[in-house]
Amino acid sequence: MKTTNKELSPVQQLLEKKYNSGFLNRSEKIIPAVLFLMAAVSVLTTLGIVLTLIFETITFFGDVSIVEFFTAKEWYPFSGTDPVYGIWPLVLGTLKITIIASLFAIPIGLAVALYLSEYASARTRKIMKPILEVLAGVPTIVYGFFALTFITPVLRGIFPSLEMFNAISPGIVVGIMIIPTIVSLSEDALSSVPESVRQGALALGSTKWETASKVIFPAALSGILASIVLGVSRAIGETMIVSIAAGSTPSASLDLTTSLQTMTSYIVQVTTGDAGFGTTIYYSIYSVGFTLFIFTLLMNILAQFISKRFREEY
């Protein structure tokens, strides 16, 4: 070799040594394996969740008939003599809260998103962004406190027939909680419509509203729908606000002014109490958790489907 003829510098000597001893130390092979195991943890978490829910629910159905679970119109687990486990009142409770939250959050959320993306000055946007970030970062326990100690008393001042625990106050506050989700995802969708599309519509003499409603909004529709579905999914899974402000009475009535219980707040009620391990009540939280998991999973899959299926090509 040519290189052997001349004097080797210290660096070359050291490098030659390295070439002879081999480049790949063991860590180059071990590290990818270790990283793969780390990635496996999140898969195992999903698996853990699904298997936990399935097995404990199966145990539950050893005690309680599956027919009763789906058809009974009553959820009355704490009766010493004759407990009834019909999931419907808890599902209805969740639906009441979710619908009120959606009715509150969707119009406001979309209005804010449209204002920020189509009308607001850069300065307004700069002010609103952190406000929405803070709203998104407020823990739900704080929202629960706000619902119980502020919104409920205010509403009862207006409607004296409203009970201390009801569907309306926590429903509205869950709505407040999901507004940032809807705003930020919808605004992303709206502002990803290219500026040229906007200018094209404005150049034809459209007003800003006509541009927004007839061109931009339809173009961003899939992103907007996905944001709504994700917001609704969060409302379904919301726990603390309803545990604090909605009460703990499973109810099959459509009355919004009285105490109710959702799937999530039932789980909280049982786990704050002393339901011993191994009792039917203990296993019932898994059957409720499973039902809840299915609901939110379907919503998340729907959101992914919408944003994939209707992805706009610009």
Partner 1 sequence: MENTARVKSEEMVSRIDGRLAKNKVVKGIFLTATIFTSIILIVLLYRIISQGAPYLTWDFFQNFASRRPEQAGIKAAVIGTLWMMSVVIPTAAILGVGTAIYLEEYAKKNKLTRWIQMNISNLAGVPSVVFGLLGLTIFVRVFGFGNSILAAGFTMALLVLPVVIVAAQEAIRAVPKELKEASFGLGATKWQTIYRVVLPYAIPGIATGSILAFSRAIGETAPLIVVGIPTFVAFLPSGYLDSFTALPMQIYNWTSRPQVDFHNLAAAGIIILLAVLILMNSVAVWIRNRYQAR
Partner 2 sequence: MALTAVNTTKNNQSVQNEELFVYNTKNLNLWYGEHHALKNINLGIKEREVTAIIGPSGCGKSTYIKTLNRMIDLVPGVKTTGQIEYRDRDIFSKDFLVEELRTRVGMVFQKPNPFPKSIYENIAFGLKIHGIKNKQIITETVEKSLRGAALWDEVKDRIHEPAYGLSGGQQQRLCIARCLALEPDVILMDEPTSALDPVSTLKVEELIQELKEKYSIIIVTHNMQQAARISDKTAFFLNGEVVEFNSTDTIFNNPADSRTDDYISGRFG
How far apart, in Å, are the Cα atoms of 286 and each of 201, 209, 251, 282?
53, 49, 20, 8
DSSP letter string, 82-136 = --EE-SHHHHHHHHHHHHHHHHHHHHHHHHHHHIIIII--HHHHHHHHHHHHHHH
Q: Is 15 in the site for partner 2 (CB under 8 A)?
A: yes
- Are the C-beta atoms of 83 and 205 separated by less than 8 Å? no
- Extract long-range pairs of 134-137: CB within 8 Å, 24+ residues apart: 135/176, 135/177, 135/179, 135/180, 136/180, 136/181, 136/184
Residue with tokens 């119109």: 73
Pick one of partner 2, partner 1, none as the site partner of residue 203 (Cβ within 5 to 8 A by kind).
Answer: none
Q: Is 172 exposed, middle or buried (0-12, 13-18, 19+ CB in 10 A)?
A: buried
Q: Which of residues 200-259 bind partner 1 (CB under 8 A)?
A: 207-210, 230, 233, 236-240, 243-244
DSSP 3-state of 19: helix
Of the candidates 227, 209, 202, the one whose C-alpha atom is nearest the C-alpha of residue 117 is 209
Q: Which is nearer to partner 2, 6 or 123 (CB)?
A: 6
Q: Is 4 in the site for partner 2 (CB under 8 A)?
A: no
Pick one of partner 1, partner 2, none as the site partner of residue 88 (Cβ within 5 to 8 A by kind).
Answer: none
Q: Is 137 in the site for partner 1 (CB under 8 A)?
A: yes
Q: Is 126 in the site for partner 2 (CB under 8 A)?
A: no
Pick one of partner 2, partner 1, none as the site partner of residue 179 (Cβ within 5 to 8 A by kind).
Answer: partner 1
- In angstroms, the CA 16 to CA 38 distance is 36
Pick one of partner 2, partner 1, none as the site partner of residue 220 (Cβ within 5 to 8 A by kind).
Answer: none
In this chain, which of 98, 102, 140, 184 binds partner 1, going by CB under 8 A? 140
Q: Is 141 in the site for partner 1 (CB under 8 A)?
A: yes
Around 96, how many Cα atoms within 13 Å sit in the side-chain half-sphere?
27
Pick one of partner 1, partner 2, none as the site partner of residue 19 (Cβ within 5 to 8 A by kind).
Answer: partner 2
- Are the C-beta atoms of 193 and 121 separated by less than 8 Å? no
Pick one of partner 2, partner 1, none as the site partner of residue 254 (Cβ within 5 to 8 A by kind).
Answer: none
Q: Amino acid identity of 44? A: L
In this chain, which of 142, 200, 204, 214 binds partner 1, going by CB under 8 A? 142
In this chain, which of 11, 38, 39, 43 binds partner 2, going by CB under 8 A? 11
Q: Is 29 in the site for partner 2 (CB under 8 A)?
A: no
Binding mask 152-191 toward partner 1 (x if CB under 8 A, else -) reads ------------------------x--x---x--------
Pick one of partner 2, partner 1, none as the site partner of residue 131 (Cβ within 5 to 8 A by kind).
Answer: partner 1
Interface with partner 2 (CB under 8 A): 1-3, 9-12, 14-15, 18-19, 22-24
